[in-house]
Structure 1
């Protein structure tokens, strides 16, 4: 059972975690002047993909941005050079950012969700589903059947952000899920953050390979949501939701939104097949928000603030350490979480661990003692862990931690 209301104990002096570490990108080197926003995927057999934004400046879109990646063939010990994931269209001013991997091993596919921007970013984007509209900030999914060496791209703007419900939305960077337990085993799930019109409720939708969509059920009014003013003066609220697919990514469906002030979100499958959602607080109140789904992300139970998660309002990442462990195996309940464990500043990059399916959490150690922005953690097999993070648009760093690198192992 996920419990709430735990006040965190005073943070002890945490050990600094040391493993096999690499700087994957550095400002002023490689194909872009700056780098931000990280995603990490384990493709199996020791092959890893690390993706991130290449940026002209350190700022978000609509400043020029494209997607790059690097590849490891030995579990993160060494890395090959830069590869283009999705190249910016400088002449047409089309920009791509916020990568998130969803690996579908049985189908031999890897998907990467990302944002597609032109002239506007999230704060002033207009509602709409026409990706040719330069005021609309859309989203896309790219798919590879050869381990990320080549990609095909298509829009999911229509299903992710129907204008009757949502002004704009974007996929949360990092990684999504392939569910492994229960009646929805095999489902692919990608978390999103959306700026919903205040008073609008849920509604669902579907997109096929051409990106068409329908609204589905009528919107239902949500609970009293914290709202803010959009660029046009209307009221809106930030909520989390997911896109999900039961056909290996051929079609994507939109689940119902959850929460008040839910922002960039990370998700993990629990040992019983439920999904735990953990979101940064849009109000930056010093902690994080959580929710649970028992139907594969279609609906959610909002659990509100969980004070165990100290956070300044930053993107973090959840993961199961042993995703292949079956229910009944204690390892199936071991979860990992990375974030900047400070209520006010993006500093103290901390690896935390739960041994009871997310009911209680304890910090393990610091993978970044100084400043950091977004981070992502993934299991690498045999109990090893990979962590990828960014430092102030200056560097993208990766470390591989073996079990013996973790205190108490």
Structure 2
């Protein structure tokens, strides 16, 4: 009996030591926050989020602030939330909301698409201004910019003369390795080769027309990932967006059939350079095949050909989303949750997605483009 008692005591001691160690070692989310709550700050509904981060550690979240009701095209502001100096694991602190564009005569400012120019840190913001009565059609494109991490912004400039009438993203734009700034639109991309001074339209992608996201592949080509319902459509451009391949369905990436799909996020986590890292792409959207449910993030190790790793962010209602790579190598994500009740922010490490199989990279080897 004494031996049995000693054995039980030994087992309890082992559990007391090993269980906490196992919990400590188990990859987990770093933090999760209800960032924007519908009904607060005189905004009826927050929708259509996008997120970017700068090398100075500033994280910027843009979205539509629909003042009176949640319907598309209702009087809508463009709002911004910022968090400063995020270089380590400390919990992020968010600044008060900023109103970048405010509706005055019922107009709707929609589809925010930010891009960071890594040359000098300038942040560009592209927006579609819709007048009333609202129609879901191609419209003008306005451009704003900030040179102080989003604290202040220029007045909007209309760049439609160069781009033509377009519907933006929504989501984020990228900077290619050759310096070209690229923003996704419903029928392809628009771009600037002179650091935002002038903008042009690329060629139209055939057969599909909807919300899209773009990423540069390691061979310099562009991959456009397009909403269509059922499965995502994928087009490739090998000339910087001037021409596009015939889109093909990616059978690994479901797109809810409700509402003919849902916007998604696609970013580059890392690029293999000098043996320091691997080629990772990240993709997020509601993974339920029929409804906007179960926000999920996926990893591709082969430039989007396959998506073998998936991790559910949250069960239940989930809509539009956007991701960015933070300076410490963790991943920041914003998404619509709770049937448009909130814009939620979640931060996690790569090993949380993979169950510890891959480690997050530091800020010197990561890229969000």
Deviations 1:283-333 (A, max 9, x none): x2x10100111111121112321111111110001111125x43x648352
SS of residue matched to 2:334? strand
Residue 245 (structure 1) aligned to one of 192, 196, 201: 192
- In the alignment, what sits opposite 2:251? 307
Cross-structure match for 2:162: 159
Q: Distance in 2 between matches of 1:404 and 1:190?
A: 30
Match of 1:354 in 2: 300
1:279 aligns with 2:226: yes
Displacement, 1:382?
4.1
Which residue pairs with 1:218 in the alignment? none
Whole-angstrom CA distance in 2 between matches of 1:259 and 1:16: 42
Q: Quick one: which of 65, 68, 85 aligns to 1:54?
A: 65
Report the alpha carbon displacement of residue 108 of structure 1 after superposing the two structures with TM.
Answer: 2.7
**Counterpart Cα distance in 2 of 1:31 and 1:146:** 27
List runs of 5+ in structure 2 lacking aligned partners.
1-25, 359-369
Question: Which has the larger helix fraction?
Answer: 2
Distance in 2 (CA, whole Å) between partners of 1:366 and 1:26 is: 22
Distance 2:164 2:255 in 1: 27
Alignment pair present for 1:288 and 2:291? no
> Is 1:80 the counterpart of 2:95 in the alignment?
yes
Indicate if the aligned counterparts of 1:27 and 1:34 stay in contact, CA closer than 8 A: yes
* Structure 1 Cα separation of the partners of residues 76 and 210 of structure 2: 22
Which aligned pairs between 1:176-215 and structure 2 lie closer than 5 A? 176-180=173-177, 185-193=178-186
2 CA distance for matches of 1:139 and 1:177?
17
Q: 1:129-181, CA deviations, whole angstroms, 9 ceiling, x for partnerless residues? A: xxxxxxxx42211111121122221112333335xxxxxx311121111011x
Q: Secondary structure at the match of 1:375?
A: strand
For residue 265 of structure 2, the aligned residue among 291, 294, 317 is: 317
State the partner residue of 1:267.
Answer: 214
Distance 1:279 1:365, change over 3 A: same
Q: What is the Cα-based RMSD across aligned positions, in Å?
A: 2.0
CA 1:331–1:121: 2 relative to 1, 3 Å: farther
In structure 1, the gaps of 5 or more residues are 1-14, 128-136, 163-168, 194-239
Can you list the C-alpha shifts for 1:214-254, whole angstroms capped at 9, x where unaligned? xxxxxxxxxxxxxxxxxxxxxxxxxx211100100000010
User: Deviation of residue 368 (structure 1)?
Assistant: 2.2
Matched residues in 2 for 1:58 and 1:83: separation? 20
The count of aligned residue pairs is: 320
1:110 to 123, 130, 135: 123
Cα distance, 1:68 vs structure 2 = 0.5
CA distance in 1, matches of 2:173, 2:27: 28
Q: CA deviation at 1:112?
A: 0.9
The answer as to 2:150 corresponding to 1:148 is yes
Asked if 2 retains the 8 angstrom alpha-carbon contact of 1:107 and 1:248, the reply is: no
Kindly indicate whether the alpha-carbon contact (under 8 Å) linking 2:169 and 2:184 is maintained by their aligned counterparts in 1.
yes
2:221, 2:239 within 8 Å by CA — same for their partners in 1? yes
Q: Is the 8 A contact 2:208 2:247 kept in 1?
A: no
Q: Give 3-state SS (helix, strand or coil) of 1:368's partner.
A: strand
Counterpart for residue 93 of structure 1: 106
Judge conservation of contact 2:164–2:201 (CA < 8 Å) in 1: no
3-state secondary structure, aligned to 1:302: coil
Q: Is the 8 A contact 2:188 2:224 kept in 1?
A: no
Cα distance in structure 1, aligned partners of 2:66 and 2:28: 29
For 1:397, the equivalent position in structure 2 comes to 344
Paired with 1:87 and 1:31, the residues of 2 have a C-alpha distance of 12
The aligned residue for residue 201 of structure 2 is: 254
Structure 2 residue matching 1:148: 3-state secondary structure: coil
Cα separation, 1, equivalents of 2:50 and 2:314: 17
Rg: which structure is higher?
Answer: 2
